[in-house]
Chain A
Amino acid sequence: MSLTDLTLMAKPNGELYKKVLGKLAKTELLECFQCSKCTGGCTAFKLLELIPHEIIKLVKLGFIENLIESGIIWTCVSCLQCTERCPQRASPYHVITSLRNIAVERQAKVPEAYLKAVSQILETGLMQPIEKVTTKKMETVDREKLNLPKIKYPSEEFKAIFLKALEGI
């Protein structure tokens, strides 16, 4: 059993709530009326217990610190089913992405693979390195062997500007 003192522990219009709002293209994306339709069809619910409508409610009530520290916001599969079906045109997907951005800004728990992807882009422009690909007959192949054109890696300028964009547009 838990008791939450709303006046002391959560500030519905606090700084973090404003931050989340600022990251959303439309405030409508938060205007959920808690029908739970999103959760009923959420791909990540059964395996990872992601409850999209609860996330939005927590954001609206200001319990954002916990969300940012929690791993739950990294369970969204980006299937966009919630965005598609919400009768209030809210979007747990977009809200969750905004929370992820804040988690990165605050250097909270961020799955390594995402940060690796960013550093890979800074290195080669692509989010993953060239993988070792083998045929069924265990023969290793690469683009050259398959007569595919060479990858045209982007300029250093792009990487510099991308870094700038990461720091804030």
Chain B
Amino acid sequence: MNVEQTVQLLENELPSKRETKVEKSVLVVGGGITGIQVSLDLANAGFKVYLVEKAPSIGGRMAQLHRIYPTLDNSINLLMPKMVEVAEHPNINLLTNTEILEVNGVAGNYKVAVIKKPRYVDENKCSGCGACIDVCPIYVSDRFNEGLRQTRAISFYSPYSVPKVTTINSEQCLRLSGKENCDKCLKACEANAINFEQKQKTFNFNVGAIIICVGADVFDASKMPELGYGRFKNVISNIEFERVLDDYGPTGGKILCPQSGKTPKTIVFISCVGCRDKRFYQHCCNVGCMVNLKQAITVREKLGDDAEIYICFNDMRAFGKGYEEFYEKARSLGVNFLAGIPAEVRSSPDGTLYVGVYEKTLNRLLELHADLVVLTNGVIPREEFAKLSELFHVPRSTDGFLQEAHSKLQPFESPVAGIFLAGTCQGPKGISESVAQASGAAAKAMVLLSKRERAILNH
């Protein structure tokens, strides 16, 4: 037999196509605005959605924001209706407090195992009254409020929790950590929802496509000691400041100096902390400039004309729709823009901060005496991307974010068939861009899901 005959023989013998039925369901990993948007788009198109969220509540970063740029809409007012829609949607199976355990299979037929961690509170019984919270004797740092406040060992994740069910922190709870046989919450609960015996549960299901929307992290500025974060009380991060500005936040929306409790007169923003910095993360966080503008404008509204507001910037990146106009608005409100990044922050015993910045347009070293310094901590990859990368076989780009198939033409597909990416896990971006990507990823997934079957081996 010659070569051609051999090849023909093999082609006849081997299956030329193997097919799999395409499941009409989707796994969405991450319940922030991106995951919420993806889930709603797909659920409304008739597909079954498993929305898996690690935290006890969906909402993600957007729920932590006071307002969004450039419209200055209240963030929760925009987010909450979508969160409720997700919770009530017949096509969405919402699994909070849940993590991905294992993923096998191929596009069209992924076999997923997830593990739902126990909240020690029955989701079906809890009425969301919060009576258990007040009686709990243990105080823990409030993660949603970035540690600016304390909550109890049993608590809601945030004032905007969906589902509105409390969760017990098993490490801090006296009973669950074996320190004491406390049952105060048990006694206070009229709905009989507390269950210390609750166990973790594994769920297995098959889905046709997976969309990863796990979001990103915020740089920890204590890694940059020259700015005084962690050493000086009056140096805070942008995400902490966002919680301060929120009327339902730890200060009831009042802007106060952490050290003295007084209202600050001079507030200085320092841009590009942790990002555009080869010592930490080289990428630009995309949102820092706009967040500064938004927060500066909010400060002007809350503190009036007396406040002196300075933004120390490297470049002003205001690239989106309405963004340049937003920059102009900040300038018209008397926000001062200093072209230069300070080298360090020093503090006097009473908490006044000294910030020296070489202003490039004036060619002068300006020394600012600030009551409050807000650091524009950048958006950075999550540490768990390594684990997720392994689970889903999705590679990471050199900047540490999850890698898309093609940055221009396939921005919300991963290189793995059937797995899509959306939101900040693919790269830092704002809410408009994340929502656009969410719907894009959902549409791409629908292309796959619209088929009855899918060939998985082709010659």
Interface residues of A (CB under 8 A from B): 33-42, 45-46, 51, 53, 81, 85, 87-89
Alpha-carbon distance A37/B272, docked complex (angstroms): 11
B340 touches A45 (CB 8 A): no
Cβ-defined partner of B278 (8 Å) among A36, A41, A42, A87: A87
| Cβ of B59 under 8 Å from chain A | no
Min C-beta distance of B222 to chain A, whole Å? 16
A36 touches B272 (CB 8 A): no
Min C-beta distance of B292 to chain A, whole Å? 15
Alpha-carbon distance A46/B364, docked complex (angstroms): 10
Which residues of chain A come closer than 8 Å to B357, judged between CB atoms? 36, 40
A37 touches B365 (CB 8 A): no
Min C-beta distance of B268 to chain A, whole Å? 13
Q: Which residue of A lies closest to B340 (CB)?
A: A36
Which residues of chain A come closer than 8 Å to B276, judged between CB atoms? 33, 87
A36 touches B360 (CB 8 A): yes
A40 touches B341 (CB 8 A): yes
Which residues of chain B come closer than 8 Å to A38, judged between CB atoms? 343
Alpha-carbon distance A37/B356, docked complex (angstroms): 9
B343 touches A40 (CB 8 A): yes
A41 touches B272 (CB 8 A): no
Which residues of chain A come closer than 8 Å to B392, judged between CB atoms? none
A39 touches B278 (CB 8 A): no
Min C-beta distance of A48 to chain B, whole Å? 13
- B340-351 near A? 1/0 per residue, CB < 8 Å: 111110000000
Q: Which residue of A lies closest to B281 (CB)?
A: A87
Q: Which residue of B lies closest to A46 (CB)?
A: B365
Which residues of chain A come closer than 8 Å to B323, judged between CB atoms? none
Min C-beta distance of A56 to chain B, whole Å? 13
Which residues of chain B come closer than 8 Å to A53, judged between CB atoms? 358
A85 touches B278 (CB 8 A): no
Q: A36-B357, A40-B356, A89-B279 are in contact. List 18 more A-B contacts (CB 8 A).
A: A33-B276, A36-B360, A37-B340, A37-B341, A37-B342, A38-B343, A39-B340, A40-B344, A41-B343, A41-B356, A45-B358, A51-B358, A81-B343, A85-B343, A87-B277, A87-B278, A88-B277, A88-B278
A33 touches B343 (CB 8 A): no
In chain B, positions 353-378 with a C-beta closer than 8 Å to chain A are 356-360, 363, 365
Which residues of chain A come closer than 8 Å to B277, judged between CB atoms? 87-88
21 intermolecular pairs with C-beta atoms under 8 Å apart: A33-B276, A35-B314, A35-B340, A35-B341, A36-B357, A36-B360, A37-B340, A37-B341, A39-B358, A39-B365, A40-B341, A40-B344, A40-B358, A41-B343, A41-B344, A42-B343, A45-B365, A46-B365, A81-B343, A87-B279, A88-B278
| Cβ of B226 under 8 Å from chain A | yes
Interface residues of B (CB under 8 A from A): 226, 272, 276-279, 314, 339-344, 356-360, 363, 365
Min C-beta distance of A35 to chain B, whole Å? 4
Alpha-carbon distance A81/B341, docked complex (angstroms): 14
Cβ-defined partner of B360 (8 Å) among A34, A42, A87: A34
Alpha-carbon distance A38/B341, docked complex (angstroms): 9
Alpha-carbon distance A40/B365, docked complex (angstroms): 7
A85 touches B226 (CB 8 A): yes
Alpha-carbon distance A64/B360, docked complex (angstroms): 21
Min C-beta distance of A121 to chain B, whole Å? 35
Alpha-carbon distance A35/B272, docked complex (angstroms): 10
Alpha-carbon distance A87/B223, docked complex (angstroms): 13
Min C-beta distance of B131 to chain A, whole Å? 50
Which residues of chain B come closer than 8 Å to A41, judged between CB atoms? 226, 342-344, 356
Which residues of chain A come closer than 8 Å to B279, judged between CB atoms? 87, 89
Which of B341, B342, B357 has the most C-beta atoms of chain A within 10 angstroms of its own C-beta? B341
Which residues of chain B come closer than 8 Å to A81, judged between CB atoms? 343
Cβ-defined partner of B343 (8 Å) among A34, A37, A88: A37
Min C-beta distance of B337 to chain A, whole Å? 14
Which of A33, A34, A87 has the most C-beta atoms of chain B within 10 angstroms of its own C-beta? A87
Which residues of chain B come closer than 8 Å to A89, judged between CB atoms? 278-279
Q: Which residue of B lies closest to A41 (CB)?
A: B343
Alpha-carbon distance A42/B344, docked complex (angstroms): 11
Min C-beta distance of A23 to chain B, whole Å? 21
A87 touches B272 (CB 8 A): yes
Min C-beta distance of B62 to chain A, whole Å? 29
Which of B341, B343, B363 has the most C-beta atoms of chain A within 10 angstroms of its own C-beta? B343
Which residues of chain B come closer than 8 Å to A39, judged between CB atoms? 340, 358, 365
Min C-beta distance of A44 to chain B, whole Å? 12
Alpha-carbon distance A40/B226, docked complex (angstroms): 12
Which residues of chain A come closer than 8 Å to B359, judged between CB atoms? 36
Which residues of chain B come closer than 8 Å to A85, judged between CB atoms? 226, 343-344
Query: In the complex where A46-B365, A89-B278 touch, is A40 in contact with B314 (Cβ < 8 A)?
Result: no
Alpha-carbon distance A104/B83, docked complex (angstroms): 70
Alpha-carbon distance A42/B276, docked complex (angstroms): 21
Alpha-carbon distance A45/B358, docked complex (angstroms): 10
Alpha-carbon distance A51/B363, docked complex (angstroms): 9
Q: Which residue of B lies closest to A88 (CB)?
A: B278
Which residues of chain A come closer than 8 Å to B343, judged between CB atoms? 37-38, 40-42, 81, 85
* 4 smallest beta-carbon distances between A and B, as pairs: A41-B343, A87-B277, A39-B358, A40-B343
B340 touches A40 (CB 8 A): yes
Alpha-carbon distance A46/B226, docked complex (angstroms): 19
Q: Which residue of A lies closest to B280 (CB)?
A: A87
Q: Which residue of A lies closest to B360 (CB)?
A: A36
Which residues of chain B come closer than 8 Å to A33, judged between CB atoms? 276, 314
Min C-beta distance of A42 to chain B, whole Å? 8
Min C-beta distance of B281 to chain A, whole Å? 10
Alpha-carbon distance A87/B270, docked complex (angstroms): 14
